Amino acid sequence: MDELNRKAFGGLLNLLVCVALMLFLPAWTIRWWQAWVFLAVFFIPSLLITFYLMKRDPKLLERRVSAGVIAEKTMFQKVVQGMATLAFVALLVFPAIDHRLGLSRAPIWADLAGDVLVVLGFLVVFLVFRENTFTSGIIEVAEDQKVISTGPYGIVRHPMYVGALVLLLGTPLALGSVWGLLVFIPMAVAIAVRLLDEETFLGRNLSGYIEYGKKVRYRLVPFVW
């Protein structure tokens, strides 16, 4: 296994451990079936997508493993990524506290619907990766990058964020927390702010992006925004 694959697997393993700790420590129990199911529906698709990129698009895998607050190139995006990271932590920790204190209980059908949304979000992300090899983990433009307008990019300008939002919306439900849905709001705001800044950057630095924006009018939701 080469260095890139080791780095990708290492990052995935670290994420698994961190997510498990953020769930089970605040809940102070491992007798929480919703959390175990969530870990499965979150990390099995992550692993499958990682295997796919290893085999089919190692350059995209390399772009994806270089992500996070430190990797961002502007202070504004570092702040936005920091806010998104805190919101993601809250999206896990709050349902765990909710479970421990019994503040709210989602019905089983809502738990399962949340799991479906998580899987659906990963499916959208996979379709984006398959269509666009330039989907970097940070806001940047590669030397040979071109505008992608096919597949999901023919429907909305930012399908990657659509997949992320669907996945994140399903997370508190999958964990059995109704009140946890409130934490989704700051996460959605952080993604929207990042998206708008990214559009400005791409309009300045990626040839043809402004014309693409005129052709595909909607950013996230057709006929809405």
Domain boundaries, the chain: 3-215
**Distance separating alpha carbons of residues 46 and 122, to the nearest angstrom:** 8
The CATH topology of domain 3-215 is Four Helix Bundle (Hemerythrin (Met), subunit A) (1.20.120)
Dihedral, CA atoms, 15, 92, 22, 105, nearest 10 degrees?
A: -140
What are the tokens at 136? 């970097």
For 209-222, the pLDDT digits (tens) are 999 999 999 999 98
Tens-place pLDDT, residues 40-81: 999 999 999 999 999 999 988 888 887 766 767 788 888 888
Q: pLDDT digit string (tens) for 132-187?
A: 998 888 788 888 889 999 999 999 999 999 999 999 999 999 999 999 999 999 99
Query: What is the pTM for the complete model shown?
Result: 0.92
